[in-house]
Amino acid sequence: MNNYLLSKKIVINDFSTFYSFLIGLSIGITIGSIILLVQGQNPIEVFSLMLRLSIGSINSISSSLNKAIPLILAGLGISIINSVKLWNIGAEGQIFMGGIVLNFIYISYEISNPNLSIIVLLLSAFIGGAICILLPALAKVIFGVNEIITTLLFNYIIIGFTVYLVNGPWKDPNSLNFPAATYVGKEVYLPVVFGKLSYGFIICLLCTVGVHYLKEKSVFGYELRISGGSALTAIYAGINAKQKTFIAMLIGGGLAGLAGGIELLSQTHRVSTGLSQGFGYTAIIVAAITGMRPLGIFLVGSLFGALTIGGTVIQTMGVSSYIADVIQATTLFGALISQFFFTYKIKRVIENV
């Protein structure tokens, strides 16, 4: 009888995540090409158009990076929560909640200095995201409730809440019956760095460096790693694992909320159901592909932003924009499978009785 035994490799190549991303990406592009061929399109033509329209000019590059901001920030939030081996599936809801709390502060308080106002509003977006994950975090550390379920379900609650707000109390009377809140004033729009690129990107860069530091170089990150490895070891080491987990979850939710705030102040300028276009879910893909590494999230998030822009513009050729989604999803699939082969070796065992 032949059996196969899986064993973890002792030394895992430092670049294995990067290699498996490349392998995954080529699988994604291959499958995307096959679908395009079946549809009677020339994949080379489609892809080169996508490239040109997503990174071919300053304007297109800045659009792509703008799209990348929410992916990266929400991805960083997922990554920091995953330090304790927990999954935040609720980034989508946290993005909306960031926008909602921002708008609430905006309409409730008047701050004359626009720069100060922007800072306060972005902080309130961060707090909004943290509020959104507060109950799942409490349920996790007090009762051990599975955070995957609770964070996921909160998406539906928050999106329902958004629909209520934009059809009810916050509905803009001038929106021609389109369900959306009133626009925020131009004075709190995020300024641009160049082209269309908003200052959100600078915040995003700082957050990437910050999360990288927090996860890899700080005492807090260390304590999260030990707590994630074994709760009993954490108790043995005198680490308050529940407290650290709670804080990590709030920071993670806050980062997704901040993504919602930046999106509102730089792109949509108002709360509507279109505030996030599935960024919170795509961010899970981004974080998973990179093995939760902050710098990787930054790079892959940028690439996925470009893919999304490219996907939108090829619609003019009569190609469905879903081709970008297909590539993103198959890239994740391919990357996870190849990551498996980088992590484990498979041995054939011959058993003789």
Partner 1 sequence: MNQKLLEVKNIYKSFGKIQALNNVDFYLYKGKIHGLLGENGAGKSSLMNILSGIYQPESGSIHIDGKRVKKLNPDIAARFGIGMVHQEFRLINNFSIKDNLTLSKSNIYTDNFQEAFEKYSDIFTLSRDSSTPIKELSIGEKQKIEIMKLIFNNNKIMLLDEPTSVLTPQETNQLKLSLQKLSNEDNKAIVLITHKLKEIQEFTQSIFVLKDGVMVAKNLNTQNVTKNDLITLMMGEIKESKISKNNRKGRNKLEVESIFFENIHSNVPTLKNISLKIKAGEILGIAGVSGNGQVELANIISGIERNYKGKVIVNGKNISNQGVRARKNLNLSYIPENRLGVGLAPGVSIIDNSAIKDYFKSRLGPHLSSNKMLDYLNLLIKQFSIKAPDPKADVSTLSGGNMQKLLMGRELISNPEVIIAAQPTRGLDINAVEALQKLIIKQRDSGSAIMLISEDLDELFKLSDRIIVLYEGQIVKEFNIDEADIENVGLAMAGSNE
Q: Whole-number minimum distance, CB 205 to partner 1, in Å?
A: 21
Q: What are the distances in angstroms from CA 249 to CA 85, 157, 194?
A: 11, 18, 34
Q: What are the distances in angstroms from CA 238 to CA 214, 249, 308?
A: 20, 20, 46
Q: Whole-number minimum distance, CB 349 to partner 1, in Å?
A: 12
Q: How many residues bind partner 1 (CB under 8 A)?
A: 26
Closer CB to partner 1, 92 or 223, in the complex: 223
Q: What are the distances in angstroms from CA 287 to CA 82, 89, 291?
A: 9, 11, 6
User: Of the ranges 4-12, 51-59, 99-107, 204-212, which one interacts with partner 1 (CB under 8 A)?
Assistant: 4-12
Q: Which of 101, 127, 226, 332 binds partner 1 (CB under 8 A)?
A: 226
CB atoms within 10 A of CB 7: 9
DSSP string, 129-150: HHHHHHHHHHIIIII---HHHH
Q: Which of 10, 176, 349, 350 binds partner 1 (CB under 8 A)?
A: 10
* Residue list 75-114, contact with partner 1 (CB under 8 A): 85
Q: Which of 113, 218, 315, 321 binds partner 1 (CB under 8 A)?
A: 218
Find out whether 66 and 255 touch, Cβ atoms under 8 Å: no
Q: Whole-number minimum distance, CB 289 to partner 1, in Å?
A: 20
Q: Which of 233, 243, 315, 321 binds partner 1 (CB under 8 A)?
A: 233
Q: Whole-number minimum distance, CB 97 to partner 1, in Å?
A: 28
Closer CB to partner 1, 9 or 52, in the complex: 9
Q: Which of 104, 161, 220, 342 binds partner 1 (CB under 8 A)?
A: 220
Handedness of CA 14, 202, 103, 186 (dihedral sign): negative
Distance separating alpha carbons of residues 17 and 340, to the nearest angstrom: 10
Q: Whole-number minimum distance, CB 198 to partner 1, in Å?
A: 30
Distance separating alpha carbons of residues 59 and 64, to the nearest angstrom: 9
| Residue 11 in contact with partner 1, rule: CB under 8 A | yes
Distance separating alpha carbons of residues 306 and 312, to the nearest angstrom: 10
Residue pointed to by tokens 């106002």? 117
Q: Which of 98, 99, 129, 228 binds partner 1 (CB under 8 A)?
A: 228
Residues near partner 1 (CB under 8 A): 8, 10-12, 85, 217-222, 225-226, 228-230, 232-238, 351-353
